[in-house]
Amino acid sequence: MSVRVYVPGDAGALSVGAEEVARAIAQEGARRGGAPEIIRNGSRGAYWLEPMVEVDMASGRLAYGPVTAADVPGLFSANFLKGGKHALLLGPAESLPWFAGQQRLTFERVGIVDPTSVADYVKFGGYQGLTQALSMGGAQVVQAITASGLRGRGGAAFPTGIKWKTVLEQPAGRKYITCNADEGDSGTFSDRMLMEGDPFTLIEGMTIAGIAVGATQGYIYLRAEYPHAHRALKAAIAAAYQARYLGSDVAGSGRRFDLEVRLGAGAYICGEETSMLESLEGRRGEVRVRPPLPAIKGLFGQPTIVNNVVTLATVPWIMAHGADAYANFGTGKSRGTLPIQLAGNIKRGGLVERAFGLTLRELLYDYGGGSASGRPIRTVQIGGPLGAYVPASQFDTPVDYEALSAIGALLGHGGIVAFDDTVDMARMARYAMEFCAIESCGKCTPCRIGSTRGMEVIDRILAGTDGERNVQLLEELCDTMVQGSLCGLGGMAPFPVQSALKHFREDFRARSQT
8 Å CB contact between 287 and 245: no
Q: How far is the CB of 203 from ligand SF4 (least distance, A)?
A: 31
**Which of the stretches 263-271, 396-404, 419-427, 457-465 binds ligand FMN when contact is defined by CB under 6 A?**
263-271
| Of 262, 379, 337, the residue nearest 102 (C-alpha) | 337
Pairing relationship of beta strands 415-420 and 337-344 according to DSSP bridges:
parallel
Q: How far is the CB of 32 from ligand FMN (least distance, A)?
A: 46
Q: How far is the CB of 413 from ligand FMN (least distance, A)?
A: 6
Q: In the complex with ligand SF4, which residue's Cβ is closer, 321 or 448?
A: 448
Contact status: 266 vs ligand SF4 (CB under 6 A): no
8 Å CB contact between 78 and 62: no
Query: Out of 28, 114, 182, 278, which residue is the one contacting ligand FMN (CB under 6 A)?
Result: 182
Q: Binding partner of residue 156 among ligand FMN, ligand SF4, none, CB under 5 to 8 Å per kind?
A: ligand FMN
Query: Out of 50, 54, 198, 272, which residue is the one contacting ligand FMN (CB under 6 A)?
Result: 272
**Which of the stretches 21-29, 91-99, 404-412, 482-490 binds ligand SF4 when contact is defined by CB under 6 A?**
482-490
Contact status: 488 vs ligand FMN (CB under 6 A): yes
Q: Does residue 215 sit in helix, strand or coil? A: coil
Contact status: 486 vs ligand SF4 (CB under 6 A): yes
Contact status: 496 vs ligand SF4 (CB under 6 A): no
Contact status: 433 vs ligand SF4 (CB under 6 A): no
Contact status: 467 vs ligand FMN (CB under 6 A): no
Measured CA to CA, the distance from residue 162 to residue 180 in angstroms comes to 18
Q: How many residues does the chain have?
A: 514
Q: In the complex with ligand SF4, which residue's Cβ is closer, 123 or 290?
A: 290
Query: Out of 213, 428, 447, 492, which residue is the one contacting ligand SF4 (CB under 6 A)?
Result: 447
Q: Where are the beta strands (DSSP E) in 78-233?
A: 89-92, 176-181, 217-222
Contact status: 441 vs ligand SF4 (CB under 6 A): yes
* CA angle at 482 for the pair 481 and 486, rounded to the nearest 5°: 80
Contact status: 487 vs ligand SF4 (CB under 6 A): yes
Number of residues that bind ligand SF4 (CB under 6 A): 14
Contact status: 386 vs ligand SF4 (CB under 6 A): no
Q: How far is the CB of 315 from ligand FMN (least distance, A)?
A: 10
Query: Out of 109, 348, 443, 511, which residue is the one contacting ligand SF4 (CB under 6 A)?
Result: 443
* CA angle at 292 for the pair 289 and 296, rounded to the nearest 5°: 145
| Of 495, 294, 484, the residue nearest 404 (C-alpha) | 495
Q: In the complex with ligand SF4, which residue's Cβ is closer, 426 or 487?
A: 487
Q: How far is the CB of 426 from ligand SF4 (least distance, A)?
A: 23
Measured CA to CA, the distance from residue 32 to residue 501 in angstroms comes to 62
Q: Does residue 230 sit in helix, strand or coil? A: helix
8 Å CB contact between 220 and 177: no
Q: How far is the CB of 341 from ligand SF4 (least distance, A)?
A: 24
Q: How far is the CB of 487 from ligand FMN (least distance, A)?
A: 5
Q: Does residue 184 sit in helix, strand or coil? A: coil
| Of 186, 187, 261, the residue nearest 228 (C-alpha) | 261
Contact status: 306 vs ligand FMN (CB under 6 A): yes
Q: How far is the CB of 208 from ligand FMN (least distance, A)?
A: 14
Reading phi first (left if > 0) and then psi (alpha if -120 to 50, else beta), residue 277 is in alpha
Q: How far is the CB of 191 from ligand FMN (least distance, A)?
A: 7
Query: Out of 41, 308, 345, 379, which residue is the one contacting ligand FMN (CB under 6 A)?
Result: 308
Contact status: 383 vs ligand FMN (CB under 6 A): no
Measured CA to CA, the distance from residue 353 to residue 110 in angstroms comes to 11
| Of 478, 466, 485, the residue nearest 502 (C-alpha) | 478
Query: Out of 30, 156, 289, 463, which residue is the one contacting ligand FMN (CB under 6 A)?
Result: 156
Query: What CA–CA distances, in Å, run from 397 to 131, 223, 363, 423?
Result: 39, 32, 11, 22
Q: How far is the CB of 269 from ligand SF4 (least distance, A)?
A: 5
Query: Which residues, in sequence order, are bridge partners of residue 46?
Result: 350
Query: Out of 117, 207, 217, 307, which residue is the one contacting ligand FMN (CB under 6 A)?
Result: 307
Measured CA to CA, the distance from residue 461 to residue 468 in angstroms comes to 8
Q: In the complex with ligand FMN, which residue's Cβ is closer, 199 or 391?
A: 199
Q: Binding partner of residue 183 among ligand SF4, ligand FMN, none, CB under 5 to 8 Å per kind?
A: ligand FMN
Q: How far is the CB of 111 from ligand FMN (least distance, A)?
A: 22
8 Å CB contact between 411 and 390: no
Measured CA to CA, the distance from residue 135 to residue 276 in angstroms comes to 33
Query: What CA–CA distances, in Å, run from 135 to 85, 168, 319?
Result: 50, 17, 11
Query: Out of 232, 489, 497, 500, which residue is the one contacting ligand FMN (CB under 6 A)?
Result: 489
Query: Out of 9, 36, 42, 155, which residue is the one contacting ligand FMN (CB under 6 A)?
Result: 155
Residue 244 burial (10 A CB sphere; 0-12, 13-18, 19+): middle
Residues that bind ligand SF4 (CB under 6 A): 269, 287, 440-444, 447-448, 485-487, 489-490
Residues that bind ligand FMN (CB under 6 A): 152-156, 158, 180, 182-184, 268-269, 271-273, 306-308, 311, 487-489
